[in-house]
Amino acid sequence: MMEVEPPRVLFLCSGNYYRSRFAEHLFNHLAAASGLLYRADSAGLWPECHTRNPGPMSHESIAALKERGIVLPSTLRSPRDVQASEIAAAALTIALKEAEHRSIVMERFPALLHRIEFWQVDDVDCAPPSVALPMIEGHVRELVARLAAGH
């Protein structure tokens, strides 16, 4: 019997280092805790995004996840670029900041723009983690509730 992959939620930000990684791990934790069969992944919209980051994941995201009791893998993967096939295959794709990401999506993946939901969460240069990460948490909690309700 073949295992069926759970539906995917794909979180996108520019560098796949801070916002999208926090959203991915938080979503997976909350989904598992509530029995929701969806699973999240994340990627970056900037080409070669791994070259723009000083490591696999921001210290702010790691600390915030640990504060919430979320256990991270002992080895974190590097930031990675999104592929068109991932957007097309995802049950839902969310870009974390419309003003920042819509133009990148339109340039790189114009035929997939209609598949992306945009949130309004600033990057660290415009909002400190003490503001941005709780905003993401609120959105992710609403999303888990929305998916659990079947919407």
What tens digit of pLDDT does each residue of 59-103 get? 999 999 999 999 999 999 999 999 999 999 999 999 999 999 999
pTM greater than 0.75: yes
CATH of the domain at 98: 3.40.50.2300
Q: What range does the domain containing 30 cover? A: 8-148
Residue 112 token pair: 């997939």
| 3 domain-assigned | no
What tens digit of pLDDT does each residue of 121-139 get? 999 999 999 999 999 999 9
How many structural domains are present in the chain?
1
- Report CA-CA distances (Å) from 78 to 17, 97, 142: 8, 21, 28
H or E element in which residue 94 lies: strand 92-95
Burial of 84 (0-12, 13-18, 19+ CB in 10 A): exposed
